[in-house]
Amino acid sequence: MVLVMLWKEIIDNLRDRQTVFYALLFGPVLLPLCIGGALVAGLKQATVSFDEPSELAVQHAERAPNLVQFLRANNMDVVNAPADVEDSVRRGDVPIVLSIPEDFSTALREGQPAPLVIHVNDGDKQSSKEARKVSSLLRVYAQTLNALRMQHRGIDPSVFNSIDVTLQDVSSNGFRGQLLASLLPFLLIVAMVMGGFYLAIDTTAGERERQSLEPLLTLPLARYKLVLGKFLAVLVFVTLSSVLTAVSVFLVFRFFSPEMAGGELSFDAHTIFQAWLLASPLVFFISAVLMTVAASTRSSKEAQTYLGLLMVFPMAPFFILQFINIKSVGITMALPMLSQYQLLERVVLQDVINPAHIALSVVGTLVGAGLLLWGAIRLYSRESVL
Amino acid sequence: MIKATELSKSFNGVAGQKKRRVVAVESVSFEAADGRITGLLGPNGAGKSTTLRMLATLIKPDSGSATIDGYSVQNDVLAVRHQLGFMPHNAGIYPRLTTRENIRYYARLCGMDKRTTETRVDELVSLLAMEGFADRRTAGFSQGQKTKVALARALVHRPQTILLDEPTNGLDVMATRGLRDIIRALAKEGHCIVFSSHIMQEVAALCDEIAIISDGNISMTGSLNTLLQNTGQSSLEDAFVSAIGGEL
């Protein structure tokens, strides 16, 4: 009978465009694409890659053949700059232009500082990124020249390097990494909530509003079976939504940034599967929350209001963990959602996870789900459910 | 067979107002026999729906008792539900399911196996003349079509006792006549039928027994003739007004 109910709710709600849109499209596809895609693409844009060959427009390349040769050796395809240098950079026809003034080679020969001009549009991310890349290449070139000049005069170039600072980041993640790592639990949890949102409302408050609950309750059927049937239906949608999200997060990273799937942050299939597994007790918890809250309201509208407010909760850990450094002590590991956030972050950052923390997280989450479900059964056993 | 003895039920007043118990049913006693159509006649707010809901085990009476085919509505809830087909005053069917799916869902929930379910659904579709809309989703159905689907659903597990809460509400003349024929046929098969309504002609045309309910109390019971005789009136409407203590 529970299965009959489950099957009916699934068929019924698959015919509801709103439910299908939010459960199978919004949470699992649109959200990872919009948030994840944008974030990854943004980070990628800010990252300078010296291995990728890129085109560099140079004005009067003939005035500095050695420099051009150096640039070519460093993956820059030197091309001739357009005639109206400033306008074409402003318009974005070329990201930047390196122009070589007439007195460049003279100054170089005389041992004077040789002038170079980079035309950049600082309002354009692509342009400033290119400028940063070229200036650092030029710095390397300048250092080589400096060394040659000093050796020519019989001075050891290292005399001028009085301090050698090395910055060693031990956190392996940093702010950017943290942000990216918390993206996975965020997307998974939001997708779970969105996945069950409309179904939970439809099977509880919606059923009451359509007045189909009254005849249903006169059937020879124990109330706990009725609640279980509805719960399982929500569970199926929540689970489906989370699986689809895991798949699309994997694809987003594959598509936008294959190099990120390998490094210190890991978004490969194994990691995402592991993360999903750690998050999976939440499908019970979130289904139970959605169901119990929706069941305690009088109408679909009221249910939407309460569940809408409740949507803040899955987002809260995301922001809290961004700004506050919570030590992973036992108590936070027993809290549903907060514990999954922390565990999933560590999986993505490839940190070591304490098995006791996993156990606490699973038990805490399942106990929470059980209590909520028991509350829903109590609600349905009361007369006021009608 | 229904036996109700001094049923009473009160509810909490509307939230926001001062807490006040609202008495919906004060003391309702009546009997409904198998093979007969018993009409529960009363004005809006008299306690008809509350009485039927207590009989349908949806709410528990504060005091008094009732049995359906010998099972107590307070203590043998599941047994009562097996005996009972209840149709609330709003059809309450699922708009995204077809007629057949709506009926099938209830059949399966009542524990019928697949094959029995299909046979029973076919039977009900032809009994209630629903062939024309059996495979359409019920969203946008006319009130008459919705009522038929809801009735089929209430009958799916062959209940002995059938409770119909204002089934003719919103039906046109032809649909009402059709429904009357169905109800009569069910009574002839030996079912106990309780039918609530506030429409005199409906009750007069259909019911073997009439229980007049007002302000949560049964003020008079009997056949149409008995009621007319007892009140000395010539029409059910006049008898009704006189029975509830109004002025003619």
Provide CATH code, domain B2-91+159-243.
3.40.50.300
Rounded Cα–Cα distance for residues A191 and A247 (Å): 12
- Three-state DSSP state, A47: coil
In this complex, which of B59, B92, B96 lies closest to A215 when CB atoms are compared? B92
- Three-state DSSP state, A246: helix
Non-local CB neighbours of A267 within 8 Å, separated by 6+ positions: A184, A249, A250, A253, A260, A261, A348
CB of A225 closer than 8 Å to CB of A2: yes
Q: Which residues of A263-279 are buried (b: 16+ CB within 10 A; e: fewer)?
A: eebbbeeebbebbbebb
Strand B37-41 with B84-87, pairing? unpaired
- Three-state DSSP state, B69: coil
Mean pLDDT computed over B20-29: 87
Burial of B192 (0-12, 13-18, 19+ CB in 10 A): buried
User: Per-residue pLDDT tens for A168-186?
Assistant: 545 444 556 667 777 888 8
What pLDDT score does B19 carry?
A: 64
Angle made by CA atoms A345, A347, A351, in degrees to the nearest 5? 95
Q: Where are the beta strands (DSSP E) in chain A?
A: 54-59, 76-80, 96-99, 117-120
Chain A contacts in chain B segment 63-82 (CB below 8 A): 78-79, 81-82
The answer to whether the CB atoms of B78 and A220 lie below 8 A apart is yes
The answer to whether the CB atoms of B111 and A12 lie below 8 A apart is no
Strand partners, B194: B38, B163
In this complex, which of A4, A12, A217 lies closest to B58 when CB atoms are compared? A217
Which chain A residues are within 8 Å of B96, Cβ to Cβ?
A: 12-13, 15-16
Quote the DSSP letter at residue A165: -
Q: Does the pLDDT at position A42 exceed 80?
A: no
What whole-number percentage of chain A has pLDDT above 90?
19
Q: Give the gap in angstroms from C-alpha B246 to the nearest C-alpha of chain A.
A: 33
Q: What angle separates helix A37-46 from helix A125-152, to the nearest 10 degrees?
A: 30
Query: In the structure, what pLDDT confidence band is assigned to residue A324 with cuts at 50, 70 and 90?
Result: low
- List the single residue in A with minimal CA-CA distance to B61: A383
Compute chain B's Rg from CA coordinates.
18
Which chain B residues are within 8 Å of A382, Cβ to Cβ?
A: none
Chain A contacts in chain B segment 228-247 (CB below 8 A): none
Count of residues making up chain A: 386
Residue of A199, A211, A219 to mutate for B, most B C-beta atoms under 10 A: A219
User: Per-residue pLDDT tens for A72-128?
Assistant: 888 888 888 888 888 888 888 888 999 999 888 888 888 888 889 999 988 887 888
What pLDDT score does A261 carry?
A: 43
Q: What is the strand order of the sheet A76-80 is part of?
A: A76-80, A54-59, A96-99, A117-120
User: Per-residue pLDDT tens for B155-200?
Assistant: 999 999 999 999 988 888 888 888 899 999 999 999 999 999 988 8
Long-range contacts, stretch A238-241, CB < 8 angstroms, 24+ apart: A238/A192, A238/A195, A238/A196, A238/A283, A238/A286, A238/A287, A238/A290, A239/A195, A239/A280, A239/A283, A240/A23, A240/A24, A240/A195, A241/A23, A241/A24, A241/A27, A241/A28, A241/A191, A241/A192, A241/A194, A241/A195, A241/A196
Q: Does the pLDDT at position B62 exceed 90?
A: yes
What pLDDT score does A333 carry?
A: 82
The answer to whether the CB atoms of B82 and A16 lie below 8 A apart is no
Which chain A residues are within 8 Å of B60, Cβ to Cβ?
A: 383
- Three-state DSSP state, B194: strand
- List the single residue in B with minimal CA-CA distance to A383: B59
Q: Which residue's structure tokens are 């006792």? A: B161
Whether the CB of B111 is below 8 Å from some CB of chain A: the reply is yes
CB of B48 closer than 8 Å to CB of B24: no
User: Per-residue pLDDT tens for A177-215?
Assistant: 667 777 888 888 888 988 888 899 999 999 988 889 999
Q: Does the pLDDT at position A167 exceed 80?
A: no
Q: Which residue's structure tokens are 């409770």? A: B163
- List the single residue in B with minimal CA-CA distance to A382: B59
The answer to whether the CB atoms of B78 and A4 lie below 8 A apart is no
Cα four-point dihedral sign B130, B132, B137, B139 = negative
CB of B217 closer than 8 Å to CB of B7: no
Whether the CB of A298 is below 8 Å from some CB of chain B: the reply is no
Q: Which residue's structure tokens are 């390397």? A: A140
Closest of A21, A64, A4 to residue A237, by C-alpha:
A21
Count of residues making up chain B: 248
Q: Give the gap in angstroms from C-alpha A15 to the nearest C-alpha of chain B.
A: 7
Which chain A residues are within 8 Å of B108, Cβ to Cβ?
A: 1, 4
Angle made by CA atoms A139, A41, A314, in degrees to the nearest 5? 130
What pLDDT score does A61 carry?
A: 87
Q: Which residues of A339-369 are buried (b: 16+ CB within 10 A; e: fewer)?
A: bbbbbbbbbbbeeebeeebbebbbebbbebb
Distances (CA, A) of B43 to B46, B47, B53, B214: 6, 9, 17, 7
The answer to whether the CB atoms of A220 and B81 lie below 8 A apart is yes
Rounded Cα–Cα distance for residues A304 and A198 (Å): 8
Query: What DSSP element (H or E) covers A383?
Result: none
Task: Write down the domain spans for chain B.
Answer: 2-91+159-243
- List the single residue in A with minimal CA-CA distance to B111: A1
The answer to whether the CB atoms of A218 and B97 lie below 8 A apart is no
Neighbours of A100 (CB within 10 A): 21
Whether the CB of A1 is below 8 Å from some CB of chain B: the reply is yes
The answer to whether the CB atoms of A15 and B96 lie below 8 A apart is yes
Q: What is the pLDDT of chain B when averaged over all its residues? A: 90
User: Per-residue pLDDT tens for B202-233?
Assistant: 898 899 999 999 888 998 899 989 988 988 88
Q: Give the gap in angstroms from C-alpha A282 to the nearest C-alpha of chain B.
A: 29
Q: Give the gap in angstroms from C-alpha B62 to the nearest C-alpha of chain A.
A: 12
CATH numbers and ranges of domains, chain A: 2-45+174-385 (no CATH), 54-160 (3.40.1710.10)
Strand B209-214 with B217-222, pairing? antiparallel
Chain B contacts in chain A segment 153-212 (CB below 8 A): 210-212
